[in-house]
Amino acid sequence: MARKAIGRLGGSAAGNAPELPLGQTAKPPNRLTAQVLDERLRGTRFVSLTPKRVLNPPSTTGMEYWSLNPYVGCEFGCSYCYARYTHRYVVERAHDAGKLTDAEFADYRGAHGWEAFEKRIFVKEQLVGALDVDLKRVPLGQTIVIGTATDPYQPAERKFRLTRAVLQRLVRCEGLSFGIITKSPLIARDCDLLVRLQERNDLQIHVSLITADAAVARKLEARSPAPHARLRALRKLVDAGVNAGLIIAPVLPGITDDVAQLDTLFAAARRAGARFIHAGALRLYPAIRDRFLPVLSEHFADLVPKYERAYKGHGYAPRDYAKALSRRIEKLRRKHGFRNQGAMFERYRPAKMPVQGELNLRGSLP
């Protein structure tokens, strides 16, 4: 892998400043230059970011918990991922502040506005120091969820180990609740820390998997780990004594929502020892459409106009569909013997019920 060093987000690299004539005072440039920490052959770059804060409070996110994401952007690049806007905001704020030139902004945004999320990934270096400060603001009994926007165990974690560093700090906490969401079997690497973390705190690990069908998964999330690898990691977590289960999200109307597919997935989760299962329908926000609909058109072309009608003017699945899906999920929970404990967070719960739409729950769209 090729490496470069051309500065650092929030400041320039030491030793790179040009010499100045005597009598002149050096002024730090109001620019955001990027230290490229690593690069993939397909063009993905991992860029250094030094954050002042890493915990996002409920008051700023609108969610009912604190959130922590060691990376901004995700190499998995799942077509349905709703978190692309988080990357866009980081880049737009830097451009508006004059820290990115127009050319740099175009590169960090991508031609269509979504590519950079999976090809220009910010690595939050020195985040443990910021976490130390942020933890002082978190009251006892509160919940912190890791991986709400980008996967904390994406491939970059093998090299940068930011998530492990976070866990090494969090094991000193007591009286909090923690959740982790990931698609990656790499989480099993940290079983030792997860066991320690739940000794004095509540913990839920959500292994994310939308289907047990590897061919379907490959069409929708081409760079994500295979379903069997995720289920094997779930088994390792449970065998180590970690409170872990499955999150089936998003459930994709007409693609992964039929009884046969969901039943197969529930059965696989039971065999893997899952302690619980949570599920939720697709949220098709504007930030997702430009990425997801072309993939839908390529592999499930007949569904495109139906999705466009069903999600017209809003991002949530229509009310009747969401209710029918909830009933289906609950029946499968009972069939496979899952008695869910109350979730400490619900990542896919809307703030209010969506408007009535055109989807129905028959395994296909109208």
User: In whole angstroms, what is the distance from residue 312 CA to residue 83 CA?
Assistant: 20
We report the CATH number of the domain holding residue 197 as 3.80.30.30
- Burial of 207 (C-beta count, 10 Å sphere; 0-12/13-18/19+): buried
The answer to whether residue 236 is domain-embedded is yes
**Does 88 fall in a domain?**
yes
What's the domain count of the chain? 1
User: Mean pLDDT across the stretch 48-57?
Assistant: 88
- Annotate the chain with three-state secondary structure: CCCCCCCEECECCCCCCCCCCCCCCCCCCCCCCCCEEEECCCCCEEEEECCCCCEECHHHHCCCCEEECCEECCCCCCCCCCCHHHHHHHHHHHHHCCCCCHHHHHHHHCCCCCHHHHHEEEEECCHHHHHHHHHCCCCCCCEEEECCCCCCCCCHHHHHCHHHHHHHHHCCCCCCEEEEEECCHHHHHHHHHHHHHCCCCEEEEEEECCCCCHHHHHHHCCCCCCHHHHHHHHHHHHHCCCCEEEEEEEECCCCCCCHHHHHHHHHHHHHCCCCCEEEEECCCCHHHHHHHHHHHHHHCHHHHHHHHHHCCCCCCCCHHHHHHHHHHHHHHHHHCCCCCCCCCCCCCCCCCCCCCCCCCCCCCCC
Contact 300, 270 (CB under 8 A): no
- Determine the Cα–Cα distance for residues 199 and 187; give it in Å rounded to an integer: 18
Confidence (pLDDT) at 222:
86
How does pLDDT run across 209-223, given as a tens digit for each residue?
A: 999 999 999 999 989
Is the confidence at residue 4, as pLDDT, over 60?
no
pLDDT of residue 363: 39
Q: Determine which of 90-104, 121-135, 297-311 has the lowest per-residue pLDDT on average.
A: 90-104
Domain assignment of residue 46, yes or no? yes
Structure confidence at residue 31 as a pLDDT band (50, 70, 90): very low
176 lies in a domain? Answer: yes
pLDDT of residue 353: 29
Residue 54 has pLDDT above 70, yes or no: yes
Q: How far apart are CA 150 and CA 81, in angstroms?
A: 9
34 pLDDT band, cuts 50/70/90, is low
123 belongs to a structural domain: yes
For the segment 58-85, the average pLDDT, to the nearest whole number, is 89
- pLDDT for 158 equals 96
| 64, 345 contact by CB (below 8 A) | yes
Asked, for residue 161, whether it belongs to a domain, the answer is: yes
- Give the lowest-confidence range in 23-37, 55-69, 205-219: 23-37
Q: Which domain holds residue 259?
A: 36-335
What confidence score (pLDDT) does residue 275 get? 96
More confident residue, 203 or 117: 203
Q: What is the dihedral of CA 311, 352, 280, 308, to 10 degrees?
A: 0
By C-alpha distance, which of 219, 74, 83 is closest to 153?
74
What is the tens place of the pLDDT at every residue in 317-358?
A: 999 999 999 999 999 999 999 986 555 544 434 333 232 233
- What is the model's pLDDT at position 3? 37
pLDDT, averaged across the chain: 83
In this predicted structure, what is the pLDDT of residue 162?
A: 97
| 64 within some domain | yes
Q: Which of 4-13, 147-156, 231-240, 309-318 has the lowest mean pLDDT?
A: 4-13
Residues 234-286 have pLDDT tens digits of: 999 999 999 999 999 999 999 999 999 999 999 999 999 999 999 999 999 88
Q: Is residue 26 part of a domain?
A: no
Residue 342: its pLDDT value, please?
Answer: 54
Type of residue at 284: L
Of 2-6, 79-83, 100-104, which one has max mean pLDDT? 79-83
